Amino acid sequence: MDGRSQGLRGDRRVTLTEVAKRAGVSRSTVSFVLNGRTDLRLSADTFTRVRRAADELGYSPNATAKTLRTGRSGTVALVSDFIGTTSFANAMVRGVLESLHDADTLLYTVDTQGEPSLESKLLRSLINRDVDGIIYGSMFTRTIAVPELLRNVPFVLLNCVSDDPDTAAVIPDEVGAGATAASALLAAGHRDRIWFVGIFPPGTTGGAAWHSWSPLALPERLQGIDGALAAAGTELAGSVAIADDWDVANGYSSVAKLVASGATPSALICINDAVGVGACLALQEAGMRVPDDVSVMAFDGSPLTTAVRPTLTSVALPHEQLGRLAAQLLLDGTAAPRVHRVPMTLSPGHSISAPSSAR
Amino acid sequence: MDGRSQGLRGDRRVTLTEVAKRAGVSRSTVSFVLNGRTDLRLSADTFTRVRRAADELGYSPNATAKTLRTGRSGTVALVSDFIGTTSFANAMVRGVLESLHDADTLLYTVDTQGEPSLESKLLRSLINRDVDGIIYGSMFTRTIAVPELLRNVPFVLLNCVSDDPDTAAVIPDEVGAGATAASALLAAGHRDRIWFVGIFPPGTTGGAAWHSWSPLALPERLQGIDGALAAAGTELAGSVAIADDWDVANGYSSVAKLVASGATPSALICINDAVGVGACLALQEAGMRVPDDVSVMAFDGSPLTTAVRPTLTSVALPHEQLGRLAAQLLLDGTAAPRVHRVPMTLSPGHSISAPSSAR
């Protein structure tokens, strides 16, 4: 790390004069190129020479001065619990980044691990470094309390909502997703033996690894399912509980138990893709074919759906669109502070067919 | 966004005096609590009152002043191409974050999408905001050119190497991983019909979505495989090319083609888990059992390995450890500037057995 001997900080900051000397131009020319002044006309060659000299010397404009002059620093932060440190919702970061990039705005991403003290430190640190605004996000959809520090800058909630009605938020339309899942099964001919896999056991609100936070996806997907089935004059035949994480192993064991109990579902609606994969494995191991004997519907639309046989039919989370919209709302700043719901669409696989009784 | 009417920036910055007034204490008491002065003795109650008043007002200490006083800002950045915006290497971020957290240091993560102009802007912006150092990472292991701007701060390379020998870097031991994969198959009794799946077609260096960058994993895993087989007096029976991305669909089609060509492998070593899953699907569709007829070995040790049947045996990427070590080297700063290789270990599944000829 020979870089230690150099540096841009404190008294070692490179000056415009040094850049000018290296580029062989005047200080005002350098200021024009690097600080966006508009009172000179320059050749492309001069632009290139100044940029190169600035790069070689490691010149960096003073952020605070720039902020005071332009009123913005051109930097936004995505502050979330676990988005950056887990492999689930990274498409949200991509969506945010792409929208910001179109607006020539940089993105810093920080994860708080859901720890209030770390969150406070990070928020202070970002606000102190003159970010223009903050996108406050959650790895999975849930209700949050807006941190007081957040109210010091423009902010938008991403994949979470607060109980404060005057807050701009972007979340997936989970109720619509539930209705979509149920409607697809109804359309295929299922009706009286549709089960749901993935409620929490009594007294449980969410996985222990995630602070036991209550995911909105569960009640809202169920609300959509119940509504669509009721409109068709039917209801869920039953629900299967999953303790802790919604993963393949827990999906497998809960459905193995259901099958062992003698239940004869015609279709399973699983809370997410991993549980759906586990459900298929349990059904297949019990000698039931998917979808010939039992149809399996899931949610999230993750890459897992295309890695298994049959491929899973799933209602997809619009992570990238959520990120894009949150960034646009923050950049715009004039949008009404309300909850924006982004539609979730059916991602077709081969795990759904007509019920065996209808063949 | 009612936060718009408030703010910490410019002339709206909350002062120590305002915090003192709200907390009902002197300005020097506030300075003591918030700026780490050591020339006063205070009660726990006073500490709490000042902290609460500062939180309520959104007080934020001046970063530059703090940096000049302590010599460090307590913030480090992870600058990478695609780590934050893809769902592959996020455990590296987790490892970095956890090591930094132990040292009371904050982490900003930024993705450059591998675009030099965006990278320059982000590096300038971070250096200008007084980060203490930068971890410069890559989503997959490759050789990079150290950006000139990076040399202005202490830095460590994460999951990439440069041709500059005086650079600290942390990468997985891919050669060792190749040897581990081949040795496991040799130990199971395979010898003369081991194929490799995942070389690039002639004239190709890497996936188009990743700037066609050449992944180090390919030549180094092959080097380890070749070495272990040669030591046992044998060699690969052949190699199968995969154009573009190493995903399930491409693994499936390339192995379907191999099987259709009449090849009779006893074992396949696949470049990653997704290709391994695709290989299993192609073999099974051709009526070959895994592992009874053909053993399948993969690399990465991703969650995919446990979502399929048979579960995949894979040599796991040590992403979290890589992140931890890079952060420790940056924090320490006295480590010799060299390439640190972190071992990759076998993650056992059920896709390996003795060859059918040996049964």
Please give, rounded to a whole number of angstroms, the shortest distance from the CA of A354 to a CA of chain B: 24
So what's the pLDDT on residue B1? 31
> In terms of domains, do A154 and A189 share one?
no
Q: Is A94 on the interface with B (CB under 8 A)?
A: yes
Tokens of B100: 């930094």
* C-alpha dist (Å) from residue A261 to A219, A240, A257, A264: 25, 11, 6, 9
> In terms of domains, do A210 and A300 share one?
yes
pLDDT(B152) > 70: yes
Closest alpha carbon within chain A to B250: A307
> In terms of domains, do B125 and B263 share one?
no
Whether residue B66 lies inside any domain: the answer is no
> In terms of domains, do A128 and A91 share one?
yes
Q: What is the dihedral of CA B155, B161, B165, B170, to 10 degrees?
A: 60
Among B61, B88, B104, the domain boundary falls at B61
Separation between Cα atoms, residue B327 and residue A113, nearest integer Å: 17
What ipTM goes with this model? 0.81
Closest alpha carbon within chain B to A115: B101
Whether residue B136 lies inside any domain: the answer is yes
Contact B109 A109 (CB under 8 A): yes
So what's the pLDDT on residue A14? 67
**Domain containing residue A133: CATH number:** 3.40.50.2300
| Residue A64 confidence class, pLDDT cut points 50, 70, 90 | very low
Long-range CB contact pairs, B259-262, < 8 A, 24+? B259/B283, B259/B286, B259/B288, B260/B286
Domain that holds residue B260: 174-317+346-358
Residues on chain A touching B148 (C-beta within 8 angstroms)? 55-56, 58
**Domain containing residue A46: CATH number:** 1.10.260.40
Q: Where are the alpha helices (DSSP H) in B13-158?
A: 16-23, 27-35, 44-57, 63-70, 90-102, 116-128
Residues on chain A touching B309 (C-beta within 8 angstroms)? 281
Residue B342: closest CA among B357, B328, B352: B328
Closest alpha carbon within chain B to A72: B9
Greater pLDDT, B71 or B87: B87
3-state SS class at B198:
strand
So what's the pLDDT on residue A262? 95
So what's the pLDDT on residue A47? 75
A residues 219-238 closer than 8 Å to B (CB): none
Whether residue A69 lies inside any domain: the answer is no
* Angle between helical axes of B217-231 and B174-188 (0-180°, round to 10): 40
> In terms of domains, do A152 and A257 share one?
no
Please give, rounded to a whole number of angstroms, the shortest distance from the CA of A336 to a CA of chain B: 8
A residues 195-214 closer than 8 Å to B (CB): none
Whether residue A270 lies inside any domain: the answer is yes
Nearest-by-Cβ selection for B2 from A74, A149, A151 = A151
> In terms of domains, do B286 and B333 share one?
no
B residues 154-193 closer than 8 Å to A (CB): 154-156, 166-168
* Angle between helical axes of A44-57 and A27-35 (0-180°, round to 10): 90
> In terms of domains, do A146 and A271 share one?
no
> In terms of domains, do A164 and A220 share one?
no
* C-alpha dist (Å) from residue B200 to A322, B180, B271: 35, 22, 11
Among A61, A93, A110, the domain boundary falls at A61
At A122-155, the pLDDT tens digits run: 999 999 998 999 999 999 999 999 999 999 999 9
So what's the pLDDT on residue A342? 98
Among A20, A35, A61, the domain boundary falls at A61
> In terms of domains, do A197 and A241 share one?
yes
At B278-330, the pLDDT tens digits run: 999 999 999 999 999 999 999 999 999 999 999 999 999 999 999 999 999 99
Residues on chain B touching A337 (C-beta within 8 angstroms)? 1-2
* Domain total in chain B: 3
- Element spanning B194, H or E: strand B194-199
Determine the residue type at A280.
C
Whether residue B279 lies inside any domain: the answer is yes
Separation between Cα atoms, residue A277 and residue B311, nearest integer Å: 13
Whether residue A166 lies inside any domain: the answer is yes
Collect all residues with Cβ–Cβ distance below 8 Å to A81 and sequence separation of at least 6.
A111, A112, A113, A114, A137, A138, A139, A210
> In terms of domains, do B113 and B227 share one?
no
Please give, rounded to a whole number of angstroms, the shortest distance from the CA of B281 to a CA of chain A: 8
pLDDT(A40) > 50: yes
Separation of first and last alpha carbons in chain A: 70
At B248-281, the pLDDT tens digits run: 999 999 999 999 999 999 999 999 999 999 999 9
